[in-house]
Structure 1
Amino acid sequence: MTRIITLFCIFIAQIGFSQSAESYLEKIRNNEALLTAFFQQMPKGGDLHHHFSGSVYAEPLLERAIAEDFYLNLETMAVSKTKPANGNWQTFSSIKNDGKLDYYQQQIMQTWSVKDYNGSVPSDDQFFDSFMKFEPTIKGHFAEGMLELKKRAIAENVSYIETQLSTIPCDMNVSDLSDFNTKLRQAATQKDEKAVLKLLDELYKSLQKKDAKKYADDFNNNFLAKLHKDLKIDDERFTMRYQNFVLRFMEPVDLFKNLTIAFISSNESKLTAGVNIVSPEHGENSMKDYWLHMVMFKYCHSKFPNVKYTLHAGELTLGLVQPEELTWHINDAIYIAGANRIGHGVDIAYESNSYDLLKYMAKNNIPIEINLVSNEFILKVKENRHPFTLYKEFNVPIVISTDDAGILRSNMTEQYVLLAKRYPDVNYETIKKYVYNSINYSFIQDESVKKQLIKDLDNRFKTFEAKFSKN
């Protein structure tokens, strides 16, 4: 990277600071090294579609597993703090004593990330299966990960991250409510929204009696606020906020329980910027319960109207699911759930009445979170197959994000390099607009914080663009 930046500086010196940032960008469109140096130094605002665990690189996670002598499953490359009952597990110390540590380190890196990916397993499996394999190394080590992400963001001129940090721990016993699983799914099969909302109201009241709020308060006060403050995450160079999230693969009662707590948490804390839903969208429960999940978000919004939420929707493509399943996920995320932003939105061209949907998103300022590297690896969608130009054509607000930079071995700079190289009609001023969108459409609750980030962005761009002005 140092050599690339040096090349950039030499080039600028050679042209005598005689052109604008916009004209210079047009000259370097097809040179990835020069584009990388340009965008490395360009202010990039915020990263709004960002998974904490997937954004930490594998190297420190592996170092931690070795240092704490975790158990390694020699077949799957999963790790565990304690030895599971089933499977071929060995401690890292015993692997080292056998002289096989280097071999397994390579296998782990290729399993926990896309490093040296060779297509031996489907790309979506490679990506989604990695999380649970390294997850035990993150528990109890959020601080190290947050500081790593902050340091990396500052180094590449990213001033804000809105990360999906963690599910909210909850040991609430809901076994007495299990009948709601069947009732909710029966009503969902009939698309009986009135019946579903009535059932959710009963379920919500039961969760309130089980003191759902205490789990949100404990997370906000005893984990999130303390961690954020102790680490001094916010400073004059960088700001971080957090999205609560729920897991799509859970049974309806468990998911709604966690969703309720997530909304309470976001409603009570200015650090929690909003709510999301994650896990593979094409998973069995994800597909079966998708409409039901959207109604759940609608219900929670009725209880907590000030809470913002962005939804992974349309992270699908032809071949991954049946064609008819590509026609309604973004529609339902917007028209039923009322999402404030959409993550991925790759299947928009297949959605029913897609032109009307795009016009609605533009008119109501519902941004799309574009993740170029992620969509290319997981879905094999890139260049003209990617719907970026469709969103742009209809003036839908666009933000550029990384998704899971650690697993994908990427960063924010690469997203902009691909954007500029693949879409030559996107000029510098448009790219700059996308950068400002990443702050303007963030879920930061404190307006003074957002205004300060915009002011800081103004100053950063002034400094950056001055590099191209005349002496």
Structure 2
Amino acid sequence: MTRIITLFCIFIAQIGFSQSAESYLEKIRNNEALLTAFFQQMPKGGDLHHHFSGSIYAEPLLERAIAEDFYLNLETLAVSKTKPEKGNWERFSSLKDKLPFYEQQIMQTWSVKDYNGSVPSDDQFFDSFMKFEPTIKGHFAEGMLELKKRAIAENVSYIETQLSTIPCDMNVSDLTDFNARLRQASAQKDEKAVLKLLDELYKSIQKKDAKKYAEDFNNNFLAKLHKDLKIDDERFTMRYQNFVLRFMEPVDLFKNLIIAFISSNESKLTAGVNIVSPEHGENSMKDYWLHMVMFKYCNSKFPDVKYTLHAGELTLGLVQPEDLTWHINDAIYIAGAKRIGHGVDIAYEANSYDLLKYMSKNNIPIEINLVSNEFILKVKENRHPFTLYKEFNVPIVISTDDAGILRSNMTEQYVLLAKRYPDVSYATIKQYVYNSINFSFIQDEAVKKQLVKDLDNRFKTFEAKFSKN
């Protein structure tokens, strides 16, 4: 990277003269090294679509597993703190001269490093999380500091990360009959019946002291960790999205969703709620409409809580054509999402022009993840709907998604953006950067204003590099 930056500075010195960042960008559109140096130094604002565990690079996770002598499954390359009953598990310390071989295999399993197509790309991506997840438990601090250090190094001033699910051991075995009742009403698209059932369920969950789980998470984990690590300073700010898992049964998911909303409603460190896991999974597809109604219900109870939804992270071939027509529609029109993550299937959505106009009119941004969409869905360049969103003036923010697993960073997202879409001007790119702060879910307006002011100063300094000495 030092060599690239040096090349950038030499080029600037040679052309030396009064030119703008805009004109310089146009000269280097097809040179990835020069684009990398340019965007590495350009202020990039915030990363709003960001999964904490997927953003940690595999190297420190593997180092931790070796240092703490985890058990390694020699077949799946998953790790465990304790030895499971089933499977071929060995401690790292017992591998001895075989360790380098397994280290290489682990890196290729926990991330997309050296990916060769031996397994489907979506499986490679989504299956990696559970393999390295044991190395993250109890080590959130190290990961947060790693992310902060990397963000500062590439001029990212804000991250809105999905840090952790909220631990909850609430017993809901007496409520399991709601699973079938909710799915039956959902199959008939009977929203009124679903909302009535959710109201009954909500009252039962409240009686089980849902609030205590949210308070414990906010006070004894989130606030303490954030304060102890001194995450916020004059260079960097971080906030946290609560999230639930799509693959869970309806009652468990709704219970967790209620707790997530309570948490977000009561802590300024939280920046809303999200829903994750593969959108094309069995329960994800079966219960998608039901999940959207759940968000609508929670919004009625906690109207101040914002939420962004992964929607339309699908493409032709991954699911049946008819399943590409309604996910973003339902996320916006039913759930009332304030931002959309991915939105790759927008061209296939029913009445997509009307939907895009609605997003534009109501300032519902799209979180664009170019590297992620290319690897997981094989959607890139003119197959990617970026231009479609741009044409309809939908607010755009550029994000990383899971930079650790994808072996990427924020700079690469902008390099691909500038190289693949030459009609996107520097001024437009700059607007996307400001969007990443203005459309963030930061609750404290003073913090948001300060980040915008900081961006003003950073761009002034950056753009001065191109002015005449």
- The TM-score bracket by the shorter chain reads over 0.9
Query: In structure 2, how many angstroms separate the alpha carbons of the residues matched to 1:398 and 1:343?
Result: 11
Equivalent residues in 2 for 1:347-358 (5 A)?
Answer: 347-358=345-356
Aligned partner of residue 278 in structure 2, secondary structure = coil
In the TM superposition, what is the alpha-carbon distance from 1:317 to its structure 2 partner? 0.1
Aligned pair partner of 2:158 in 145, 154, 160:
160
Aligned partner of residue 445 in structure 1, secondary structure = coil
Aligned partner of residue 249 in structure 1, secondary structure = coil
Query: In structure 2, how many angstroms separate the alpha carbons of the residues matched to 1:12 and 1:215?
Result: 55
Greater shift, 8-17 or 56-65, is seen at 8-17
Aligned pair partner of 1:297 in 270, 295, 298:
295
In the TM superposition, what is the alpha-carbon distance from 1:134 to its structure 2 partner? 0.2
Equivalent residues in 2 for 1:245-264 (5 A)?
Answer: 245-264=243-262
Query: In structure 1, how many angstroms separate the alpha carbons of the residues matched to 2:92 and 2:213?
Result: 36
Query: In structure 2, how many angstroms separate the alpha carbons of the residues matched to 1:346 and 1:60?
Result: 32
Aligned partner of residue 223 in structure 1, secondary structure = helix
Show structure 2 runs of 5+ residues with no match: none
Residue of structure 1 in register with 2:78 after alignment: 78
Query: In structure 1, how many angstroms separate the alpha carbons of the residues matched to 2:34 and 2:149?
Result: 23
Aligned partner of residue 76 in structure 1, secondary structure = coil
Aligned partner of residue 303 in structure 2, secondary structure = coil
Query: In structure 2, how many angstroms separate the alpha carbons of the residues matched to 1:228 and 1:17?
Result: 45
Alpha-carbon displacement from aligned partner over 1:382-430 (angstroms, at most 9, x marks no partner): 0000000000000000000000000000000000000000000000000
Alpha-carbon displacement from aligned partner over 1:363-391 (angstroms, at most 9, x marks no partner): 00000000000000000000000000000
Query: In structure 1, how many angstroms separate the alpha carbons of the residues matched to 2:255 and 2:61?
Result: 31
Aligned partner of residue 239 in structure 2, secondary structure = strand
Query: In structure 1, how many angstroms separate the alpha carbons of the residues matched to 2:131 and 2:261?
Result: 28
Alpha-carbon displacement from aligned partner over 1:245-297 (angstroms, at most 9, x marks no partner): 00000000000000000000000000000100000000000000000000000
Q: Does the CA-based 8 Å contact 1:309-1:339 persist in structure 2?
A: yes
Aligned partner of residue 85 in structure 1, secondary structure = coil
Greater shift, 10-19 or 26-35, is seen at 10-19
Aligned pair partner of 1:272 in 270, 273, 277:
270
Q: How many residues align?
A: 468
In the TM superposition, what is the alpha-carbon distance from 1:32 to its structure 2 partner? 0.1
Residue of structure 2 in register with 1:199 after alignment: 197
Residue of structure 1 in register with 2:170 after alignment: 172
Show structure 1 runs of 5+ residues with no match: none
Alpha-carbon displacement from aligned partner over 1:320-356 (angstroms, at most 9, x marks no partner): 0000000000000000000000000000000000000
Q: Does the CA-based 8 Å contact 1:4-1:34 persist in structure 2?
A: yes
Q: 1:92 to 1:329 in 2, by over 3 A?
A: same
Structure 1 runs (4+) deviating above 3 angstroms are none
Query: In structure 1, how many angstroms separate the alpha carbons of the residues matched to 2:167 and 2:105?
Result: 31
Residue of structure 2 in register with 1:442 after alignment: 440
Query: In structure 2, how many angstroms separate the alpha carbons of the residues matched to 1:446 and 1:282?
Result: 35
Query: In structure 2, how many angstroms separate the alpha carbons of the residues matched to 1:362 and 1:85?
Result: 54
Aligned partner of residue 465 in structure 1, secondary structure = helix
Query: In structure 2, how many angstroms separate the alpha carbons of the residues matched to 1:22 and 1:287?
Result: 44
Query: In structure 1, how many angstroms separate the alpha carbons of the residues matched to 2:95 and 2:135?
Result: 18
Query: In structure 2, how many angstroms separate the alpha carbons of the residues matched to 1:31 and 1:385?
Result: 22
Q: Does the CA-based 8 Å contact 1:327-1:352 persist in structure 2?
A: yes
In the TM superposition, what is the alpha-carbon distance from 1:16 to its structure 2 partner? 1.1
Q: Does the CA-based 8 Å contact 1:315-1:345 persist in structure 2?
A: yes
Aligned partner of residue 272 in structure 2, secondary structure = strand
Query: In structure 2, how many angstroms separate the alpha carbons of the residues matched to 1:216 and 1:17?
Result: 57
Q: Does the CA-based 8 Å contact 1:17-1:467 persist in structure 2?
A: no
Query: In structure 1, how many angstroms separate the alpha carbons of the residues matched to 2:217 and 2:61?
Result: 24
Q: Does the CA-based 8 Å contact 1:156-1:413 persist in structure 2?
A: yes
In the TM superposition, what is the alpha-carbon distance from 1:17 to its structure 2 partner? 4.1
In the TM superposition, what is the alpha-carbon distance from 1:15 to its structure 2 partner? 1.0
Aligned partner of residue 320 in structure 1, secondary structure = coil
Residue of structure 2 in register with 1:62 after alignment: 62
Alpha-carbon displacement from aligned partner over 1:169-193 (angstroms, at most 9, x marks no partner): 0000000000000000000000000
Aligned partner of residue 396 in structure 1, secondary structure = coil
Residue of structure 2 in register with 1:15 after alignment: 15
In the TM superposition, what is the alpha-carbon distance from 1:470 to its structure 2 partner? 1.1
Query: In structure 1, how many angstroms separate the alpha carbons of the residues matched to 2:70 and 2:199?
Result: 44
In the TM superposition, what is the alpha-carbon distance from 1:22 to its structure 2 partner? 0.1
Query: In structure 1, how many angstroms separate the alpha carbons of the residues matched to 2:18 and 2:10?
Result: 14
Aligned partner of residue 5 in structure 1, secondary structure = helix
Alpha-carbon displacement from aligned partner over 1:419-447 (angstroms, at most 9, x marks no partner): 00000000000000000000000000000
Residue of structure 2 in register with 1:241 after alignment: 239
Alpha-carbon displacement from aligned partner over 1:288-309 (angstroms, at most 9, x marks no partner): 0000000000000000000000
Aligned partner of residue 143 in structure 2, secondary structure = helix
Aligned partner of residue 337 in structure 2, secondary structure = coil
Query: In structure 2, how many angstroms separate the alpha carbons of the residues matched to 1:95 and 1:360?
Result: 58
Query: In structure 1, how many angstroms separate the alpha carbons of the residues matched to 2:337 and 2:95?
Result: 48
Query: In structure 2, how many angstroms separate the alpha carbons of the residues matched to 1:74 and 1:402?
Result: 31
Alpha-carbon displacement from aligned partner over 1:128-147 (angstroms, at most 9, x marks no partner): 00000000000000000000
Query: In structure 1, how many angstroms separate the alpha carbons of the residues matched to 2:411 and 2:356?
Result: 27
Query: In structure 1, how many angstroms separate the alpha carbons of the residues matched to 2:36 and 2:188?
Result: 52
Q: Does the CA-based 8 Å contact 1:42-1:461 persist in structure 2?
A: yes
Query: In structure 1, how many angstroms separate the alpha carbons of the residues matched to 2:379 and 2:331?
Result: 21
Aligned partner of residue 304 in structure 2, secondary structure = coil
TM-score, length-scaled by structure 1? 0.99
Aligned partner of residue 139 in structure 1, secondary structure = coil
Alpha-carbon displacement from aligned partner over 1:191-212 (angstroms, at most 9, x marks no partner): 0000000000000000000000
Query: In structure 2, how many angstroms separate the alpha carbons of the residues matched to 1:117 and 1:83?
Result: 29
Aligned partner of residue 95 in structure 2, secondary structure = helix
TM-score, length-scaled by structure 2? 1.00
Aligned partner of residue 26 in structure 1, secondary structure = helix
Query: In structure 2, how many angstroms separate the alpha carbons of the residues matched to 1:95 and 1:230?
Result: 37
In the TM superposition, what is the alpha-carbon distance from 1:18 to its structure 2 partner? 2.1
Aligned partner of residue 108 in structure 1, secondary structure = helix
Query: In structure 2, how many angstroms separate the alpha carbons of the residues matched to 1:16 and 1:390?
Result: 37
Q: 1:11 to 1:288 in 2, by over 3 A?
A: same
Residue of structure 1 in register with 2:384 after alignment: 386
Query: In structure 2, how many angstroms separate the alpha carbons of the residues matched to 1:150 and 1:261?
Result: 27
Percent identity of paired positions between Structure 1 and Structure 2: 94
Aligned partner of residue 235 in structure 1, secondary structure = coil
Q: Does the CA-based 8 Å contact 1:160-1:238 persist in structure 2?
A: yes
Query: In structure 1, how many angstroms separate the alpha carbons of the residues matched to 2:468 and 2:356?
Result: 42
